[in-house]
Amino acid sequence: MKSTTILSTALSAAPAMANFGGVALYNNCDFDVYTSTVIEGSVPSNPSKVKSTQWYWEPYVHPRVGGAVLRLGKAANAGAITQLEYKVNAGMMYYDISNIDCGATSLTAKAQCPFLNGGMFLKSDDPNCPTRQCLTGDKACRQAYNAPDDNWAVGGCKFNNHNLVLYMCQSSSS
């Protein structure tokens, strides 16, 4: 069973996260967001609902092959999704935001990306790690994958069990 915690207070005030790393999501959207985790070669986990103005956190998974993906969308099992992808390899963590599986900001043109109207901001709680930002309405955000070969969108830094934090419908951490 996947261990998750929904935080109702600020992320920095969460002592449970101090000793081990994971992924935190803050939903600043005016709609609920559904998330499920996928590990290469497996089926997605059961979706978790992150209500508007709420925090969600889950510990990192470390698959033997490939990385992990958090699928984020407005519906539990359907519709356009944005993905938060990460992988730990040789003491480094690599991470990115991907809009490939949604519409106007990708090649697949299925539907509008869930956070196009509000933006996204991805950071680590390690200040030495690079951030990723997509502003409201940016249909060609250069800091996210919009096509499979947008490899410049990947951030990376030394892995020290820090948390990755994605702010949805918000293009900064404040």
| Residue 91 belongs to a domain | yes
CA distance 10 to 99: 27
CA distance 143 to 131: 9
In the prediction, which pLDDT does 134 show?
94
Q: Which of 167, 143, 159, 139 is nearest to 53 (CA)?
A: 167
| Residue 173 belongs to a domain | no
Query: The domain containing residue 70 runs over which residues?
Result: 11-168
| Residue 6 belongs to a domain | no
Which CA distances in Å does 123 have to 22, 47, 49? 12, 23, 21
| Residue 2 belongs to a domain | no
- Please tell me the total count of domains within the chain: 1
User: Which run of H or E residues covers position 90?
Assistant: none
Q: Give φ, ψ of 66 to 5 degrees.
A: 75, -160
In the prediction, which pLDDT does 104 show?
53
| Residue 5 belongs to a domain | no
Exposure on the CB side of residue 54, measured as CA atoms within 13 A: 14
CA distance 83 to 70: 6
Which CA distances in Å does 145 have to 19, 139, 149, 153, 170? 31, 11, 8, 6, 18
| Residue whose entry in the numeric block shows the structure tokens 């992150």 | 50
CATH (domain of 19): 2.60.110.10
pLDDT in tens, 20-77: 799 999 999 999 999 999 998 787 889 999 999 999 999 999 888 889 999 999 988 8
In the prediction, which pLDDT does 13 show?
38
- Evaluate if residue 107 carries a pLDDT over 70: no
| Residue 3 belongs to a domain | no
| Residue 73 belongs to a domain | yes
Name the more confident of 171 and 106: 171
In one letter, which amino acid is 79? G
Range with the poorest average pLDDT among 45-49, 100-104, 108-112, 134-138:
108-112
| Residue 159 belongs to a domain | yes
In the prediction, which pLDDT does 171 show?
85
